[in-house]
Structure 1
């Protein structure tokens, strides 16, 4: 199994439960495991009955298990302040206020959370040396796919910016008057340095996601979830990110044979319908179903979390490094 494991899916399918259960499964197998939540709901704290924040924190009552929760709003604010600081150091004071205004507007647009989280997301991967496994409880499918598609898009975009910046400085140097040294040099230009740094960061992310990451999708046995999962598989495949398996979660339990009444009749019919859908999933998807998790009456935590961990037919053995 790859070092970085992602559980995606539409909102409400139970990604947090499955992510935490797999994290527990890895920890019980002796793997130093970090569970990272990028979901605004921050349900990881609920699963473990413990508050987590921006830094990894040991999960009480478990060995080899740590967790952290990334707050999208805080990450947007941090991302915005970092851009403002960087730009203020590199542009004329006369246009700083206009840049601030444009940055404020940009961070209110759709996708701002994903862009801000992406920097933190890469930072976690780059600084995960002390862990054997990092499990990401990702945001809902649409946001996750936008986030995962950024490396290829931004790499080519930054290449074009670098080319334009180098041409600009070259023209400036050629226009320098007399024998004085030009004030700007390509090798000393802070903007180019920043662009190169960003490009290298995105290249690292793209390479890591392709070569050292495994993706699973969580879905429920309902038509909307199945359609969303099919689209997610297609989109991930488009970005060369293959899905290793599907986790079917929140399956209705079958009532006992002797049970009668309105409730039992409803549950029996729902169970039958869901079983038909699960057979469709197994037939129509190329990706294997690695778990079929029956919905519990109580919240999944403690002993119930350990039960779910046992139901996940997902390997925990690290891949050998050649």
Structure 2
């Protein structure tokens, strides 16, 4: 059994879909079972603690688990934290601030950067004890602060003067909003650096992109002096029946990735956790995560009788549907780690193979389009592969902004303007400009966009929507004749939004939540793609995979029964060249 009692504060971080919530919740349950008072906090905008713990987890106040009184939980809602932070920042301006300046500050604080700082501001209160009505032995965080957030809190003191006397846009707001919390932030950052108080658990699967993300996080944290890190490898599959060829190939694929693990991770203490064929929901299954005996008891009770279901359309059927209009914008969306990039790549190449001019691009800073398109030896000449590189677009944008705002300023002032512009807020606007160009060409050809993980995607669309309102407000043109990028995304004749998910409870729930969010913005998804489904045609003999497929079939059947959209299935591919195999 793994021991989590080394430090009071435990942070679980990693790429979406690797099992952070399951492992952080299992760790919290284990600590509580050992007689400790534990607080489990999620800072994930798409938190699913309620599902995993099988009890309501609120975002207003700390609540005790009804069946485990030592365990208390709370969600930190980033959007709500951002709004609260914004209100405090505006009220801190004082009575002499004009309404125009107050509105300007509120507008400044409307980006992703503010949400990050606000979330950090909120959870520092739990570390400092301000938000804790009682003392806890351990505090477990599902997701950690990003390197960017932590760096912002170490900005030079010169920021205070700059923010007090400069009305240029700033994602962190007026210095008066930060000064009162400055000492708390400083103390919390020191706690995060202290190996006797804090441990960072980097969660990953035996997959290239997942390991790369964990390595990036490890490097960022180490650069900030947060070196007490552990690597948790989740979902490691060991076949029981070695005569099952499919099972053996899955295991070999994972072994290859682990043999070629990034250098940054190779020196960390590591713990492996097996692939479990059941969904880890509820206390009993959470307790089984660290116990082979409990896993075996659950497996013995599981019914392996498979669900009888009709044929689910596949990728070829989806491409048949998409090509009917001859052009348009296709956007793959979903939680991180569900396969948006590979799905977008396969759709784009398939359309180009059929003679259509296609541009394949991504707004995801962590995407690896060329990793997939490079698997095809002879790509069609009518396929253009691009990447909206956030760094490049931001640099272009910053140079233009500095030229405008830096006119007549000293060298030191220009340096601070540059520092101010170096934030996700600026990146968001810069990416939007490039994104808009890509959308425009969809009237003449196919444009396939691999979007960023859910939260970033919604922020991008929110920026697009805000831009639309601004254009309507400032333009003399009749609003009914305007066709902004936001309207193009809403227009189902032009845009097909495809929600990509996995045949697992949490990703499906999150896809449903994303669909609801999009529909509130009058954006209606065209189809669902259920990725990495164990093929129904294959005759598995390995009991783990048999049970895994049964659970997947139940979930796919439930999606098809409640979804008003088309549902398409992509089978799990065990070969290295995934896109080539898909096509």
Short-chain TM bin: 0.7 to 0.9
Instruction: Tell me whether 1:8 sits opposite 2:13 in the alignment.
Output: yes
- 2:88 aligns with one of 82, 85, 96: 82
Distance between the aligned counterparts of 2:30 and 2:18, measured in 1? 20
Cross-structure match for 1:121 = 123
The structure 2 residue matched to 1:277, chosen from 247, 253, 257, is 257
Assess if the C-alpha contact under 8 Å between 1:14 and 1:249 holds in 2: yes
Q: Deviations over 1:233-279 (max 9, x none)?
A: 11111000014211111223414135xxxxx4323201122133334
The residue correspondences of 1:21-40 to structure 2 (distance < 5 A) are 21-40=26-45
Aligned counterparts of 2:281 and 2:48: Cα–Cα separation in 1: 11
Larger RCO, structure (CA 8 Å, separation 6 or more): 1
Aligned-residue CA RMSD (Å)? 2.7
CA deviation vs aligned residue, 1:100-136 (integer Å, no higher than 9, x gap): 23322432x2322211101101111122451000000
The alignment status of 1:63 with 2:69, answered yes or no, reads: yes
Matched, 1:149 2:151: yes
Q: 93, 96, 101: which one pairs with 1:98?
A: 101
Distance 1:166 1:231, change over 3 A: closer
TM-score by structure 2 length?
0.44
User: In the TM superposition, what is the alpha-carbon distance from 1:160 to its structure 2 partner?
Assistant: 1.9
What is the DSSP-based 3-state SS (H/G/I as helix, E as strand, rest coil) of the residue aligned with 2:267? coil
1:217–1:243 Cα contact (<8 Å) kept:
no
Relative distance call for 1:112 and 1:6 in structure 2 (3 A) is: same
Q: CA deviation at 1:161?
A: 4.3
- The 8 Å contact of residues 35 and 66 in structure 1, kept in 2 or not, is answered as yes
Q: Is the 8 Å Cα contact of residues 29 and 283 (structure 2) preserved in structure 1? A: no
CA contact (8 A) 1:216 1:247 kept: yes
CA displacement, residues 269-312 of structure 1 (integer Å, 9 cap, x when unaligned)? 0112213333444986100112323233334433221011447x
**Separation of aligned partners in 2, 1:233 and 1:64:** 31
How far has the Cα of 1:215 moved from its partner? 0.7
Per-residue deviation at 1:194? 6.0
Structure 1 residues 298 and 193, CA gap change in structure 2 (3 angstroms)? closer
- Equivalences for residues 201-216 of structure 1 within 5 A: 201-211=184-194, 212-216=197-201
Aligned match for 2:215, one of 227, 230, 238: 230
- SS of 1:304's partner is helix
State the secondary structure of the residue aligned to 1:111.
helix
For residue 222 of structure 1, report the CA deviation from its aligned partner: 0.3
Contact 1:236 1:242 in 2 (8 A): yes
Which of 261, 282, 285 does residue 304 from structure 1 map onto? 285
Q: TM-score if structure 1 supplies the norm length?
A: 0.76
How many residues end up aligned between the 2 structures?
273
How far residue 8 of structure 1 moved from its aligned partner, in angstroms, is 0.6
Q: Give the equivalent residue in structure 2 for 1:181.
A: none
SS at match of 1:63: strand
Find the counterpart in structure 2 of residue 249 from structure 1.
234
Q: Give the match's secondary structure for 1:290.
A: strand
Query: Hey, what's the Cα distance between the residues in 2 that align with 1:162 and 1:76?
Result: 21
1:148 Cα deviation from its structure 2 partner = 3.1
| Deviation, structure 1 residue 164 | 6.8
Which digits, 9 at most, give the CA deviation of each residue in 1:194-228, with x for residues without a partner? Answer: 65422212212211111221111000100111111
